[in-house]
Structure 1
């Protein structure tokens, strides 16, 4: 029979405890429950935001991106491309030219990120599901079209398929001189094409990007056989990490091969850092809430001095007394934590299922706050609660084990 646990249960359930001790114990349980519930919910929201970022970018991002370690662009040739296409796991290879350009429409203008894409791009991208107006194709019956972000379209008031007012794109001409000519005709390359569609992916891309055919970008930027990146679609039966390692070995140190997370490493790292600081903050809140356990145990020790002296007189050692009061604190924390876990998981499940709490923004790509529960968060929360409970219970338990028998009988 586990004597410390039996006594701890009786102390916890006892109706003869002084009223103030009961109140403090109840406050402790409520505080731990609320802190645990909040921690589970907030961590799940951060998990949902991280997944949302991946989902949004997956509509336009390839499985892998090949780019140069030094410089903005690198030369390609048919042999080089053929070798990459023959690499096991490479299902599709898309050539990309990306650079800043000046976009003019009527009397308005803005600097945009222009991404030139070869015709097979839409074979590896799900961006066609993000088209809000027009057609996703960049070429129709040999006519070149541009896809513009919703923010760019709003900023310049662009009309889709307007044959009378095409988009004008300008890029500084490479003349070998350090200064631009004062004559605009000599200083800039200029090309025109119509807006064929509007995409809505995420705010950064929507407000700054336009997609154009690769041939259009080559003419405007005078890139010739140079490319800023190559997009790789990995076959369904192949592992992305394995294909990435093969390409890195094949291309050598002059190229870098990035997977989806590495393409947005700064954003994902920021979310993880915020999640870590939120966890630390809520752990401190849990610690403050658990201080009530310290006070309730301290008062319980004072109230049960005679009982402790009797136990010691009957042969109980210091370890038994100490374990008894540690278990009382553990039971209080466990009941509160269990209630908080149930409430937190239930609220997250309801949000996942029904989306009750909305983002509150008309332009948001999702209607409600994204939530994703992870077992690792629940385990980490439980570990934090165990550590905090031990930290606040150890002192009263030590005081109880060192009571003098003669003075308290």
Structure 2
């Protein structure tokens, strides 16, 4: 009944044309904000998904490291128990240290990561090569897979450079000799085999070699490692597996999920999304003032109707609901139209790449979009709340109109 009155008031001809104009302005404003809401959040989701997929190529589902210190001890018996845990697909043992990579007069600080033969089963670095092969060699003849930024800094092309680079690492457990610091360093020559391109922070920092060579450079024991990276079977919850591994290994080990390994990154992305939501909500609140103006003028227009309704027995609550319904109707028309236009635009962006990313330096050449159902629910809920609050005051004014009986 309330929406029936609201619909009739919306369609009915007004004595002042400005009431219709303002009503349509409020609808168009809400439509535009809803469209912007969904499109901007979808583009953000697209970039977020892209960044997460890139980081997923380098960071594992779970990572076991030391609670304190730089190394952990994992015996064959412990590793066997790890593989028996439900959900664990594969693991890779890691030895990692900050080193200095030298090519002639060029010196580049690099985090050198030694990996075993199972590494390709745990993460997808091997699928991100842009040059050469994913070959890490062995302890006697090590090979190096460079991040793209490291390769540029060293000034070579990994698959064409025939001369070995020199790598320096501090010897474990030795103090730095200021008189002759070379006595505190382990040095070796190493050839390059390939280059990976994942994400700038990773590409500028890491190079990958084999586990045996890296353990020799670091002076690690037979069962001593920097970390252990694990891949999980699809469908298993990482936090459930994390708790089981933590219980099995004890308090001296730290088991981290993919989120915890990059907590600052995910926190910043989440904060940015809520900041965007807050800005768009403020724009929606500003747009809602046109609705307040439209409903206020409608209340003035329908004073006689209100008198008639009250004389027929309508109470204040019913009158208020009618004008609240009018506000929600305006918001509903605007938000649904905006949502449908946003879906159409996002589909066109994915299919036809309407808006390109300028510069040509990014991994993709167009803005990615990803529609998420909960974003639609969030936007429609936000619009409904703002429309309800914007409609409250004019509808309350309508409800409090006194009954004036005239003879």
TM range (shorter): over 0.9
Aligned to 1:348: 346
Moved more, 73-82 or 379-388: 73-82
Deviation at 1:141, TM superposition (A): 12
| CA deviation vs aligned residue, 1:316-357 (integer Å, no higher than 9, x gap) | 221221111111111111111111111112212222333322
Deviation at 1:162, TM superposition (A): 5.4
SS at match of 1:119: coil
SS at match of 2:146: strand
- The answer as to 2:320 corresponding to 1:322 is yes
Aligned to 1:233: 231
Aligned to 1:304: 302
Aligned length: 406
Deviation at 1:184, TM superposition (A): 4.3
Of residues 191, 194, 205, the one that matches 1:194 is 191
Aligned to 2:279: 281
Alignment partners' CA distance in 2, 1:296 and 1:163: 72
Aligned to 2:203: 206
Change (3 A) 1:91 1:405: closer
Moved more, 245-254 or 145-154: 245-254
Aligned to 2:388: 390
Aligned to 1:377: 375
Alignment partners' CA distance in 1, 2:155 and 2:294: 66
Alignment partners' CA distance in 2, 1:353 and 1:142: 51
Alignment partners' CA distance in 1, 2:6 and 2:234: 57
Of residues 55, 68, 76, the one that matches 1:57 is 55
Aligned to 1:263: 261
Aligned to 2:14: 16
SS at match of 1:405: coil
Structure 1: gaps spanning 5 or more residues: none
- The answer as to 2:26 corresponding to 1:28 is yes
- The answer as to 2:79 corresponding to 1:110 is no
Deviation at 1:374, TM superposition (A): 1.2
Change (3 A) 1:28 1:84: same
Structure 2: gaps spanning 5 or more residues: none
Deviation at 1:126, TM superposition (A): 2.0
SS at match of 1:406: coil
Alignment partners' CA distance in 1, 2:234 and 2:384: 43
Moved more, 65-74 or 12-21: 12-21
Are 2:291 and 2:391, in contact at CA under 8 Å, matched by a contact in 1? yes
Change (3 A) 1:163 1:313: closer
Aligned to 2:70: 72
SS at match of 1:333: helix
Deviation at 1:408, TM superposition (A): 8.6
Alignment partners' CA distance in 2, 1:35 and 1:163: 55
Aligned to 1:126: 124
Of residues 293, 296, 300, the one that matches 1:295 is 293
Are 2:146 and 2:158, in contact at CA under 8 Å, matched by a contact in 1? no
Are 1:202 and 1:365, in contact at CA under 8 Å, matched by a contact in 2? no
The CA RMSD over aligned residues, in Å, is: 2.2
Are 1:94 and 1:232, in contact at CA under 8 Å, matched by a contact in 2? yes
Aligned to 1:180: 177
Deviation at 1:116, TM superposition (A): 0.9
